[in-house]
Structure 1
Amino acid sequence: MNRPSTTRKTSTRRQAPLDFSQLRDNATQAARLLRALSNENRLMLLCMLFERERTVSELNESLPLSQSALSQHLAVLRDEGLVKTRREAQSIYYGLASQPAQRVVETLHSIYCPEGC
Structure 2
Amino acid sequence: MRDDPGSVFNEPALFLQALANGRRLHVLTLLNQAEWDVTSLAAAVGLSQSALSQHLAKLKAAGLVTIRREAQTIWYRCNSKAVNDILMLLALKFHVPADTSEAA
Q: Is the TM-score greater than 0.5?
A: yes
Query: Where does the alignment leave 5 or more consecutive residues of structure 2 unmatched?
Result: none
Partner of 1:99: 81
Question: How high is the TM-score relative to the length of structure 2?
Answer: 0.77
Of 92, 96, 100, which residue of structure 2 is paired with 1:112? 96
2: CA distance, partners of 1:42 / 1:68: 14
Q: Which has the higher helix share?
A: 2
Deviations 1:46-66 (A, max 9, x none): 011111111111111112212
Higher relative contact order (CA 8 A, sep 6+): 2
Contact 1:32 1:80 in 2 (8 A): yes
**Mapping of 1:49-64 within 5 angstroms?**
49-64=31-46
Identical aligned residues as a percent = 38
**Mapping of 1:62-73 within 5 angstroms?**
62-73=44-55
2: CA distance, partners of 1:109 / 1:52: 18
Aligned partner of residue 60 in structure 2, secondary structure: helix
Contact 1:47 1:109 in 2 (8 A): no
Matched residues, number: 96
Contact 1:33 1:101 in 2 (8 A): no
The reply to whether residue 75 of structure 1 matches residue 57 of structure 2 is yes
Partner of 2:23: 41
